[in-house]
Amino acid sequence: MQVKGKIALVTGGTDGIGLEIARQLQAKGANVIVCGRREDFLATAREEGFEAIKADLSSADGCSAFLRDLGARPLDILVNNAGMSGNFAPGDPLDLALTDRAIFLNLNAPMHLIGTLMPMLLDRPEAAIVNVTSGLAIAPRAGGPVYCATKAGLRSFTQSLRHNLRDTNVHVIEALPPVVDTAMTRGRVGGNKMSAKECAAQIVDAIESNSKEANVGMVKLLQAVYSISPALARRIMIKF
């Protein structure tokens, strides 16, 4: 896909991976709309030249309000990046309210946006849907059961959606980041972390090259291990 001149929407585009995706699409000549919850981040995004819309996509009402604010403007690229961990400490009771929010934001919201915006995307000369899942969608870790479940669900949805749209102008891409240095992982996940900038660069490259998947960083190795032995991949990742 030629990114220059395209209109892109990046959810969760005011911070972390989403902001870097927005910046890199903009640098390549795209007109980028971002959404997020924090007014200070939205203000900073506007200073960088983005159209920034306040949105909380962790509920059906929040998705509906955002879609109303977005209006009927044309879109060529939809990047479903917004997400939250929904994790809990081992032995702690599951926070059901947090769990419900995480499930909606990570899994339901992309479906709501895709379902509503699909007629518009189908009407464009070429379009792309990018669903940001995770390497943990391939094999889960014990410390993030809710997050892993939602990302695995989004991975399955994305694969089915790609097949359903195979004969259309809409290209469906799954982006699978490794552990990335963002606000969500700081203080929660140790080890080496990829920069959000490098992660975004690989995702944008997948958009430009019409790839089916962007296996980012160490996820390439995880995919290779999983292709040989899914059980081994699960044993490695569950303790990660």
Q: Give me the CATH number covering residue 68.
A: 3.40.50.720
Owning domain of residue 188: 7-238
Per-residue pLDDT, averaged over 217-236, amounts to 96
pLDDT given for residue 185 in this prediction: 72
226 in catalytic set: no
Residue 73 forms part of a structural domain? yes
Residue 82 forms part of a structural domain? yes
Residue 159 forms part of a structural domain? yes
| Residue whose pair of structure tokens reads 């969760």 in the numeric block | 12
pLDDT band of 88, cuts 50, 70, 90: low
Per-residue pLDDT, averaged over 116-144, amounts to 96
Residue 56 forms part of a structural domain? yes
Residue 2 forms part of a structural domain? no
Catalytic residue among 41, 50, 104, 147: 147
pLDDT of 188 above 60 = no
Specify the pTM.
0.94
pLDDT given for residue 155 in this prediction: 98
Residue 27 forms part of a structural domain? yes
Number of domains within the chain:
1
- DSSP per-residue letters across 107-128: IIHHHHHHHHHHHHHHTSSSEE
Quick one: DSSP state of residue 129? E
pLDDT of 92 above 90 = no
